[in-house]
């Protein structure tokens, strides 16, 4: 890096530093000379400030001179000049506030001999202005030089260097494939690529981590020697985390979690690392050409999507305005169009068509996920993944399709419980229609998750496949799957029959692009109304413009989190909005095998196990491309690195537990968007039981090591050792938790005091406002919910039309 | 100036009064944190109608000697801020409750605020010795009258809805 020529911005800083060195040098003489000669000798010679000031500006002159010699190598000297001036400013301000500055100063003008008299305060204010100008110029030139040097798009130079320092420690192996600067640069580009309110939290984390050592009287992270930094991070953020006071322990844990995510994303997204972990991209796998020839990708169905730049008016009107374009919104639009209504869809995310999808995980995460896949609960302990693009989560999910479990529907309709008032017969018809629409089918093809083979063996050896247990290949709306393993970053081959690929094009074909208008990059902010009628919605386009959308019927279908936020921001839906949110809480367990199994080469989720009678969880075989797998990989520092080195010998099982409805969405906090959730002890215990069973299955299937994703790293080598998990996982922070299935928040109920929407999906108290998505679920359904979301949308469509 | 501020009162006293109103609103928000979108037009109609009505009414009641004189600033704050904004907010949150429950809520909140204003500003001070000693009977009496807010509002809104669209007319649940 130091060998590359200086950028113009760095040269500009160099010039400024040389000028300052000269000016400071002259200033030193300016202080000393009147004390030695001239008419003011008597005044200057007696003042201590003269020597102090002469020393101060001389030091600044020397520092500036040295810094100008090599602006890169002697960068800290520039920083010292800036910090020195800031301290000087503070000292002068203190004097102005608390000192006696009214006394006059009388000096003789050495050229004219006239007497100049002015108060000391005037001299001090002049110093404030001069120092202020120096600080402003230096900071400006310094930041520009640093940004240009590193080619940064989002992070500040200090944050960038902090990330480099963190990456150097966190990606800890003997044969690292890329330097930490490259890791940090990848992260900078990733963060610059997406729009999210939460993004600045990354800057905050990096700044905090840089300065955190100061609390323990140690130098900032980037100034530490690498070995000291490594020890510091390991000790303060991992091994001795329990010594951190409870009140800010979650913040410290949150910081290191975020730092880990950044470092691993930056490292494992680079193709230079792929060979070292044993990963082969789909495009380079030997059987890929054959697969593409045997079953070519289906032709892309035309879909007309309006973008923000195409909207030239400040207002837009639709018949039915649907907020969202995901599973519920798309099926609903399809149904409404079939019934003769015109639809205008508003989607916050971008339109990413198939041809724009790649196998670059970081790029796709930034393009397709809400908040770039960074959505976390308030305490940073549960990651809530949701798609944010035209097609919503169906573009990035695993397409796994489960029917609504009958016992769940029974509970929903129970008058003593949720009293949903759903017509069971009509709902079953909707399920059938949706299955046909998105062509749900059992994934009986040769390209299943290869990691499922040992799982299957283990299940059979333990006798868990016997009836009434269900161990099956999943059903999914996937047709002719190649097994590329990229379901979660968008199917570029059109094999996943998502809303983007099937339902929206079909709906638009049915009545034309005028009858179904889809506007991407349009975030709904607030609903407006008059009495019981909602008249429209205020939106902000991705280019920053405001747009007022009006309609006869407004349907909020933005997903469990965003729908609740919109209602809360608009003051709609009474006191129940955002409450009773639940999840399918998931946590993985990873197993190591002696032989390569290349679990990445196949359908990501291919099998599931449901025990009967239910123990409250479902197990699903699961695997990911390197970045996602690294983010879910247990271990710290060298343990994590070594685990990733055996990536092609790993297999994972995800344990899915339906949670109690004790979470809440709030229009609160720094982002006015907050998910408050703490798993109940019972939900956590159920999850632990699931992890233990999954571990046992792995051992029965031939695994040599299993690793749950716990905060403290454990490798289990024997099935009985897994029982220790009951002691290890006692708090939510002891294990990594995630979900792609938030449900509830705007409960469906006949009873207005219990729910937000009535059995017609209409918000209580409004004539024309509906909510239709997973947020209306009265409780978590315990299995992948997309089919239920779609079936409810079809059901609702019959009522809304 | 005494008729504007009240004898011996200044900015500090009125800030305290506003703090009392704020504390009451904080309590009200526990039950219902915001004015629902569909009630907003109704809310503003209530704010204006009650604010103006009470401001003028208080002075007229003083003229006919059934209410102590309220300094103009106290009257304005009480009418527009307390009755208009705050009690209408309370109404927006409880208009679906049984009418007796609403009335009780209004009586309690009105009483607390009147006692607060009496302590801080020295207003609401008219000896009215009806079985209860001192000023208490007077405070209770006017608070009970304020308890009619929900019923009067319901009747008023029924009438207003004939002329203004989008006004919610609460249904009386006894």
**pLDDT score recorded for residue A46:** 67
The crossing angle, in degrees rounded to 10, of helices B40-63 and B149-160 is 120
Rounded distance between C-alpha atoms, residue A496 and residue A439, angstroms = 10
- pLDDT tens per residue across span A541-598: 999 999 999 999 999 999 999 999 999 999 999 889 999 999 999 999 999 999 999 9
Nearest residue of chain B to residue A573 (CA atoms): B36
**Interface mutation vs chain B, best among A527, A571, A753, most B CBs within 10 Å:** A571
Q: What is the mean pLDDT of residues A354-376?
A: 85
Average pLDDT taken over every residue of chain A: 92
Query: Residue A102: is its pLDDT beyond 80?
Result: no
Tell me, yes or no, if B101 comes closer than 8 A to chain A by beta carbon.
no
Confidence of residue A51 (pLDDT cuts 50, 70, 90): confident
Q: Pick A574's closest partner by Cβ from B36, B40, B166.
A: B36
Alpha-carbon dihedral sign for residues A241, A246, A250, A251 = negative
Burial class (CB in 10 A: 0-12, 13-18, 19+), A368: buried
Q: Tokens in use for A534?
A: 């909602």
Would you call A575 and B32 a contact, using CB atoms and an 8 Å cutoff? Answer: yes
Q: Please state, for a pLDDT cut of 70, what percent of chain A lies above it.
A: 98
Which alpha helices (DSSP H) does A439-497 contain, by range?
Answer: 452-461
* Residues A405, A426: Cα–Cα separation, whole Å: 16
Question: Which of A531, A664, A666, A667 to substitute to test the interface with B, most B CBs within 10 Å?
Answer: A531
Say which of B31, B33, B165 has its CB closest to residue A530: B165
Residue A239 contacts B, CB cutoff 8 Å: no
Q: How many CB atoms lie within 10 A of CB A674?
A: 18
| Cβ-defined contact of B38 to A531 (cutoff 8 Å) | yes
**Total beta-carbon pairs less than 8 A apart between chain A and chain B:** 39
Least confident of A189-203, A779-793, B138-152: A189-203
Residue A43 has pLDDT above 80, yes or no: no
Would you call A572 and B38 a contact, using CB atoms and an 8 Å cutoff?
yes
The residue of chain A nearest to residue B32, with distances taken between CA atoms, is: A575
pLDDT bin (cut points 50, 70, 90) of residue A419 is very high
The two tokens of residue B60 are 């007229």
pLDDT at B132: 66
Identify all chain B residues contacting A528, using CB atoms and an 8 Å cutoff.
Answer: 37
Chain centroid to Cα A52, Å, comes to 51
pLDDT at A151: 86
Closest chain B residue to A575, measured at CA? B32
Question: What is the distance, to the nearest Å, from the Cα of residue A182 to the centroid of all Cα atoms in its chain?
Answer: 21
Q: How distant, in Å, are the alpha carbons of A7, A96, B5 from that of A101? A: 45, 7, 42
CB B42 within 8 A of CB B164: no
The reply to whether residue A531 touches residue B35, judged by beta carbons under 8 angstroms, is no
CB-CB neighbors (< 8 A) of B165 in chain A: 530-531
* Closest chain B C-alpha to A187 CA, distance in angstroms: 41
Q: What is the mean pLDDT of residues A96-119?
A: 80
| A26-40, A116-130, A557-571: which is most confident | A557-571
Lowest-pLDDT choice from A445-449, A685-689, B82-86, B105-109: A445-449
Q: Which two structure tokens, joined as six digits, stand for A522?
A: 């349009």
Average pLDDT value for residue range A243-270: 89
Q: A765 and B38: CB-CB below 8 Å?
A: yes
CB–CB contact A572 B36 (8 Å): yes
Contact by Cβ (8 Å): B138, B128: yes
Q: CB of A256 within 8 A of CB of A736?
A: no
**Averaged over A617-635, what is the pLDDT?**
93
Reported pTM? 0.83
Nearest CA in chain A to B166: A531
What is the percent of chain B with per-residue pLDDT over 70, rounded to a whole number?
Answer: 97
The tokens of A445 are what?
């093809």
Q: What's the pLDDT tens digit per position in A436-462?
A: 999 999 998 889 999 999 999 999 999
Of B35, B41, B166, Cβ closest to residue A571 = B35
Determine contact, residues A749/A741, Cβ cutoff 8 Å: no
Lowest average pLDDT, out of A21-35, A292-306, A765-779, B83-97, goes to: A21-35
Ranked by mean pLDDT, which of A246-255, A571-580, A681-690 comes out on top? Answer: A681-690
pLDDT of residue A100: 80
The 10s digit of each residue's pLDDT in A596-607 is 999 999 999 999
| Top-confidence residue, A49 or A436 | A436
Query: Phi and psi of A668, rounded to 5°?
Result: -140, 180
From the list B31, B32, B166, the residue facing A530 with the nearest CB is: B166
Average pLDDT over residues B67-96: 95
Bridge-partner residues for A27, per DSSP?
Answer: none
Taking only residues 403 to 462 of chain A, the set having a beta carbon closer than 8 angstroms to any beta carbon of chain B reads none
Least CA distance to B36: which residue of chain A? Answer: A571
> What is the reported pLDDT for B2?
78
Residues 129-158 of B with CB under 8 A from A: none
Tell me the average pLDDT across A54-75: 92
CB-CB neighbors (< 8 A) of A572 in chain B: 36-38
What is the average per-residue pLDDT within A23-46? Answer: 80
Q: Is the pLDDT of residue A66 over 70?
A: yes
Q: Is the Cβ of B98 closer than 8 Å to some Cβ of chain A?
A: no
Among chain A residues, the shortest Cα distance to B94 is held by A574
> B97 in contact with A at a CB cutoff of 8 Å?
no
Mutate to test the interface with A, among B29, B37, B160 (most CBs of A within 10 A): B37
Q: Give the pLDDT band (50/70/90) at residue A195.
A: confident
CB proximity under 8 Å: A 475-534 to B: 527-534
Search chain A and give the residue with CA nearest B164: A531
Q: Compute the nearest-CA separation of B131 from chain A (Å).
A: 42
- Whole-angstrom CA distances from A294 to A73, A282, A444, A482 are 58, 16, 17, 10
The band of A651, judged by pLDDT with boundaries at 50, 70 and 90, is: very high
Nearest to A531 among B31, B32, B168 (CB): B168
**Tokens 């690392």, located at residue:** A273
pLDDT band at A166 (very low <50, low <70, confident <90, very high): very high
B72 falls in which pLDDT band (50, 70, 90)?
A: very high
Whether residue A2 is predicted with pLDDT greater than 60 in this model: the reply is no
| Contact between chains at B38 and A574 (C-beta distance less than 8 A) | no
- In the predicted model, is pLDDT for residue A797 greater than 90? yes
String of DSSP letters for A105-160: EEEE-TTT--EEEEEHHHHHHHHHHHHHHHHHHHHHHHHHHHHHHHT-SSS-HHHH
* Closest Cα in chain A, distance from residue B93 (Å): 9
Query: Could you tell me the domains of chain A?
Result: 8-150 (no CATH), 157-268 (no CATH), 308-352+402-439+498-579+744-800 (3.50.50.60), 582-739 (3.30.410)
Whether the predicted pLDDT of A372 surpasses 70:
no
Question: Is B171 at the interface with chain A, CB within 8 A?
Answer: no
Kindly state whether B42 is in contact with chain A, defined as any CB-CB distance less than 8 angstroms: yes
Tokens of A144: 């520009």
pLDDT at A1: 47
Q: Which residue of A has its CA nearest to B170?
A: A765
Instruction: Give the pLDDT band (50/70/90) at residue A380.
Output: confident
Q: Which residue has the higher pLDDT, A500 or B131?
A: A500
The per-residue pLDDT for range A209-239, each reduced to its tens digit, is 999 999 999 999 998 999 999 999 999 998 8
What pLDDT was estimated at residue B66? 87
The reply to whether A569 touches chain B by the CB within 8 Å rule is no
Q: Minimal Cα–Cα distance from B151 to chain A, Å?
A: 20
Above 90 in pLDDT, residue B59?
yes
By the CB < 8 Å criterion, does B167 face chain A?
yes
Residues of A in contact with B35 (CB under 8 A): 571
To the nearest whole Å, the CA of B145 is away from the closest chain A CA by 29
Is pLDDT above 80 for A48? no
* Per-residue pLDDT at A147: 86
Q: Is A525 exposed, middle or buried (0-12, 13-18, 19+ CB in 10 A)?
A: middle
- Output the pLDDT for position A230: 94
Residue environment code for A526-554, b if the CB has 16+ CB neighbours within 10 A, otherwise e: ebbbebbbbbbbbbbbbeeeebebbbebb
Average confidence (pLDDT) over A370-389:
75
Pick the more confident residue, A240 or B55.
B55
For residue A712, the tally of other CB atoms under 10 A from its CB is 14
pLDDT at A187: 94
| Mean pLDDT score, B5-11 | 89
């Amino acid at each position: 890096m130091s060998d590359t020529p200086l950028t113009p911005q760095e040269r500009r800083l160099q010039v400024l530093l040389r000028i300052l060195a000269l000016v400071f040098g002259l200033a030193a003489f300016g202080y000393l000379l009147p004390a030695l000669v001239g008419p003011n000798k008597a005044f200057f010679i007696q003042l201590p400030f003269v020597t102090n000031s002469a020393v101060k500006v001389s030091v600044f002159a020397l520092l500036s001179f040295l810094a100008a010699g090599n602006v890169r190598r002697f960068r800290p000297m520039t920083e010292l000049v800036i910090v020195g001036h800031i301290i000087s400013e503070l000292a002068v301000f203190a004097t102005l506030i608390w000192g006696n500055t009214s006394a006059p100063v009388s000096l003789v003008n050495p050229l004219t001999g006239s007497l100049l008299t002015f108060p000391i305060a005037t001299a001090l204010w002049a110093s404030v202005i001069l120092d202020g100008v120096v600080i402003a110029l230096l900071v400006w030139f310094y930041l520009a030089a640093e940004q240009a040097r590193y080619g940064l798009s989002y992070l500040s130079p200090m944050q960038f260097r902090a990330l480099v320092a963190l990456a150097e420690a966190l990606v800890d192996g003997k044969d690292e494939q890329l330097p930490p600067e490259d890791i940090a640069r990848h992260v900078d580009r990733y963060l610059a690529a997406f729009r999210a309110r939460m993004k600045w939290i990354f800057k905050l984390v990096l700044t905090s981590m840089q300065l955190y050592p100061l609390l323990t009287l140690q130098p900032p992270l980037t100034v530490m020697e690498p070995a000291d930094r490594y020890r510091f991070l390991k000790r303060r953020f991992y091994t001795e985390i329990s010594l951190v006071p409870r009140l800010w322990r979650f913040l410290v844990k949150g910081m290191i979690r975020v730092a880990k995510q950044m470092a691993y994303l930056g490292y494992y997204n680079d193709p230079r690392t792929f060979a070292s972990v044993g990963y082969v991209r789909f495009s380079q796998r030997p059987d890929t050409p054959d697969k593409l020839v045997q079953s070519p990708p289906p032709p892309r169905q035309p879909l007309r999507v309006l973008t923000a730049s195409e909207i030239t008016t400040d207002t837009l009107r639709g018949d039915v305005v649907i907020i969202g374009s995901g599973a519920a919104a798309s099926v609903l639009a399809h149904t409404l169009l079939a019934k003769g209504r015109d639809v205008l869809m508003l989607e916050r995310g971008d339109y990413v068509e198939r041809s724009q999808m790649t196998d670059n995980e970081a790029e796709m995460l930034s393009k397709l996920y809400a908040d770039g896949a960074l959505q976390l609960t308030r305490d940073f302990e549960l990651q809530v993944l949701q798609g944010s693009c035209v097609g919503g989560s169906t573009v990035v999910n695993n397409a796994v399709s489960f029917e609504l479990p009958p016992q769940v529907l029974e509970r929903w309709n129970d008058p003593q419980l949720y009293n949903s008032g759903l017509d069971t017969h009509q709902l079953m018809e909707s399920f059938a229609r949706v299955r046909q629409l998105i062509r749900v089918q059992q994934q009986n093809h040769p390209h299943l998750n290869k990691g499922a083979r040992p799982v299957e063996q283990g299940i059979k050896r333990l006798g868990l496949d016997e009836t009434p247990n269900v161990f099956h290949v999943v059903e999914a709306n996937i047709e002719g799957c190649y097994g590329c393993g990229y379901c979660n970053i968008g199917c570029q081959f059109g094999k996943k029959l998502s809303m983007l690929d099937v339902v929206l094009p079909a709906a638009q074909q049915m009545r034309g692009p005028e009858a179904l208008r889809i506007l991407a990059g349009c975030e709904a902010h607030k609903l407006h109304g008059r009495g019981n009628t909602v008249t429209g919605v205020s939106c902000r386009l991705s280019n920053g413009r405001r747009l007022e959308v009006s309609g006869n019927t407004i349907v909020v279908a933005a997903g469990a989190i965003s729908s609740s936020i919109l209602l809360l921001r608009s003051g709609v839906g009474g006191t129940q909005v955002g409450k009773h949110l639940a999840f399918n809480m998931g946590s993985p367990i990873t197993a190591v095998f002696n032989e390569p199994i290349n679990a990445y080469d196949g359908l990501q989720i291919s099998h599931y196990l449901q025990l009967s009678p239910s123990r409250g969880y479902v197990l699903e075989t699961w695997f990911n491309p390197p970045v996602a797998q690294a983010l879910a990989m247990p271990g710290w520092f060298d343990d994590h690195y070594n685990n990733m080195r055996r990536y092609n010998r790993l297999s994972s099982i995800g344990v899915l537990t339906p949670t109690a409805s004790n979470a809440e969405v709030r229009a609160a906090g720094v982002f006015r968007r907050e998910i408050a959730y703490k798993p109940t002890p019972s939900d956590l215990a159920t999850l632990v039981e699931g992890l233990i069973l999954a571990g046992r299955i792995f051992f029965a299937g031939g695994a040599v090591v299993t690793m749950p994703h716990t905060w403290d790293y454990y490798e289990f080598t024997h099935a009985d050792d897994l029982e220790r998990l009951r002691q290890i996982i006692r708090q939510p922070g002891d294990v990594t938790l995630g979900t792609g299935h938030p449900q509830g928040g705007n409960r469906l109920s006949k009873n207005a005091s219990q729910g937000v929407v009535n059995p017609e999906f209409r918000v209580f108290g409004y004539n024309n406002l509906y909510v239709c998505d997973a947020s209306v679920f009265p409780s978590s359904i315990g299995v992948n919910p997309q089919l239920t979301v779609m079936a409810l949308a079809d059901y609702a469509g019959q009522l809304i039309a | 100036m005494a008729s504007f501020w009240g004898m011996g009162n200044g900015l500090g006293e009125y800030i305290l009064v506003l703090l009392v109103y704020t504390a009451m609103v904080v309590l009200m928000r526990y039950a219902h944190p915001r004015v629902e979108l569909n009630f907003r037009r109704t809310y503003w109609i209530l704010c204006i109608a009650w604010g103006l009505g009470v401001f003028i009414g208080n002075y007229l009641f003083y003229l006919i000697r059934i209410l102590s004189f309220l300094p103009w600033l106290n009257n304005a704050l009480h009418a527009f801020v307390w009755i208009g904004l705050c009690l209408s907010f309370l109404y927006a949150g409880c208009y679906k409750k049984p009418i007796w429950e609403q009335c009780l809520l209004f009586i309690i909140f009105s009483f607390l605020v009147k006692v607060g204003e009496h302590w801080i500003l020295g207003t609401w001070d008219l000896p009215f010795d009806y079985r209860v000693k001192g000023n208490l009977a007077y405070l209770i009496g006017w608070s009970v009258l304020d308890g009619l807010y929900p019923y009067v509002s319901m009747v008023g809104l029924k009438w207003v809805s004939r002329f203004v669209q989008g006004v919610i007319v609460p249904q009386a649940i006894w």
